[in-house]
Each structure stands twice: as C-alpha cells, then as structure tokens.
Structure 1
Amino acid sequence: MLKFLLPVDGSDTSVKAVGEFIKLIGWYKEVPEIHLLNVQYPLRGNVPMFIDKESIDLYYQEEGLKELRPARELLERAGIACRFHITAGTPPDMILRYAEEIDCDQIIMGPRGLGAVKGILLGSVASRIMQLATIPVLLIK
C-alpha cells in the first residue's frame, strides 16, 4: 500500500491542498495510507527554562490538534482514514525526517508563496522540501 505524508499547518493553503488531494484520490488503484503531520515551531528564548517539559509538550499537542482539525475533518467527510502526528522543530527538517521514518512514498503539500510575487514563488518550506526530498513531492495549488 502506498503511504503519503501530508504536512499541514492549519493555513488556508494547506487545507486547500488536502481538499484538492481528495479530488485526486481516484488517480490511485487503492486509497493510500494517509499521514497528516503538523510541525510546531520550538518555543523561543528562555521559555523552556521556566516551563516544564510536560507543559511544553501539552502546548505543542493542543496547538497541533487545532491546526490539524480542518484537514482531518475534510478527510473524514470524504471517508478517508488518516493517521496524524504532531512534532516540534524546523518544518522542512521534521517533514523530511518523518517521511523517512515512516517510509513514505510521496509528500503532498501546498506551496505557500509569500512576498511581492506571491503567485510565482514557492514558500520557503515547500522550496526546501523540493530541494532535499529523496521521494516524489506533489505540490497542489
């Protein structure tokens, strides 16, 4: 069975990519195993010195669940089962590491162009994934 990783951050772009992917699911002979991944940015500064690890992990889980909710609901409405994961770190690094750890066949994500030429440029995360991934990456606009 094919295994796909869909990184989502709760943004309109990532939710739209999941919705568009659902429309393309018929491309595949069988429904692939879907893994949603949310990457939380690590807390900055001295915060970890004053808050215990359990509280920080709980914060990451709560925020990750909020950001995963729209994508999970779209997949659920389409009758597509998924697994979801939440981690903390630099998004491109964590996405690539996770794809390798679970032996994914493809990464599917939405490009997120920011800046003056928004429609032309890829977001920095998508760009980095495209440069470093050793498996196919499907960008859905």
Structure 2
Amino acid sequence: MKILLPVDGSALSLEAVRHAIRLVRDGLQAEFVLANVQEPSSLYEMVVVHDPQALRRMAAEAGTHALAAADALLNEADIDHEMEVATGDPAHTLIDLIDNYGCDVVIMGAHGMGEGSAAFGAVAQELLRHAPVPVMIVRPGERAEGAADTLEGGVQEQPDNPP
C-alpha cells in the first residue's frame, strides 16, 4: 500500500506522520510519499526578485525544509518513503501526486499552517471531496498541537469519497 502524507511543517501534519508510523508498527505494510506543495510565486515576489530560477529555488528550499522533520521521523522508524516538493494549488497538486505516485490512501492533518479554527482546512476539505482514494484526517487531540512527540491525535476516516 502506498500512502500520500502531505506535510507543511505544522505540528498537526507531523502528527499525521506519527499516526502513519503507528499504523506500520501495528502491522500495516506500507510505503510513503511525503509531499509538500508550495504556492506559486506572487506578482510581488516576481517583481522584486526578477529571477524565476531564484524563486523556484527558494520554493524548493522551503518545501525541503517543511519536509525535514517528517523525513527524519520516517528515517528513524526505518520506513521506505519518497519525497516530493511541488508547486501549484495545494489541493489540485496533491490530487495529481496521488495519481503520479499510484497512492492508495492519503493521511493528513485536519488543517495546516495558517488555517483557521475550522474543523478542517481548505486543503483537507478539497481532498475529502475530490481525491480518487480514501482520505484519513488526523485531528488534534486533547493536548495542544505543539505538544511533544507523543501527542495523541484523534483520527477521522473518510472511506468513500462523494462525487
């Protein structure tokens, strides 16, 4: 089974990675694709920087930085994984990555960096609606999102995707 793990560097996205690791420790045979999607450069960034290659390089570095903690968790658990930093609209790009990597399921945090207090962030909602595979949402537990590595998160599964 191949599992897509969208990671933005937030505590909740890392809890989704920890949850996936617990599933493997409980006997699930899985490989993972860690993915980070960087938003396209804004007009302001393009005007100020003047160098499209520099903007792409900065986005790639930011994505690699966002994946670093999740990569370390999977390496420590000795779990096979691939990593992808992509640019584009996050939800649509993640759906493309599901197809490109042949993923069977997505495990992700309920919301990521910068998203409000809604039960699910915009990217999670879009994936729940449009992903061609099941999406498992890891929600924050009783403790604060920034808690230690042993943070217990609640999990909500979405086994079937509505049209």
By the TM > 0.5 criterion, same fold?
yes
Match of 1:121 in 2: 119
SS in 1 for 2:132: coil
Higher relative contact order (CA 8 A, sep 6+): 1
Match of 1:137 in 2: 135
- Contact 2:12/2:138 (8 A) holds in 1: no
Match of 1:108 in 2: 107
Match of 2:82 in 1: 83
Letter in 1 for 2:123: V
Matches within 5 A, 1:1-141: 2-25=1-24, 26-28=26-28, 30=29, 32-49=30-47, 50-112=49-111, 114-115=115-116, 118=117, 121-141=119-139
Give RMSD over aligned pairs. Answer: 1.7
1:44-99, CA deviations, whole angstroms, 9 ceiling, x for partnerless residues? Answer: 11433553222111111110111001101111111112110001111101101111
- Contact 1:21/1:140 (8 A) holds in 2: no
- Contact 2:110/2:137 (8 A) holds in 1: yes
Q: How many pairs does the alignment contain?
A: 135
User: Which consecutive segments of 4 or more residues in structure 1 shift more than 2 A?
Assistant: 46-53
Q: CA deviation at 1:27?
A: 4.3
- Contact 1:10/1:67 (8 A) holds in 2: yes
Give distance in 1, aligned partners of 2:80 and 2:133. 22
1:14-39, CA deviations, whole angstroms, 9 ceiling, x for partnerless residues? Answer: 011111221111242x2x12100000
Q: Which runs of 5+ in 1 are unaligned?
A: none
Q: Which runs of 5+ in 2 are unaligned?
A: 140-163
More helix by proportion, 1 or 2?
Answer: 1
Give distance in 1, aligned partners of 2:101 and 2:81. 14
Seq. identity, %: 32
Give distance in 2, aligned partners of 1:51 and 1:96. 31
Give distance in 2, aligned partners of 1:134 and 1:20. 21
Give distance in 2, aligned partners of 1:101 and 1:51. 31
Letter in 1 for 2:33: H
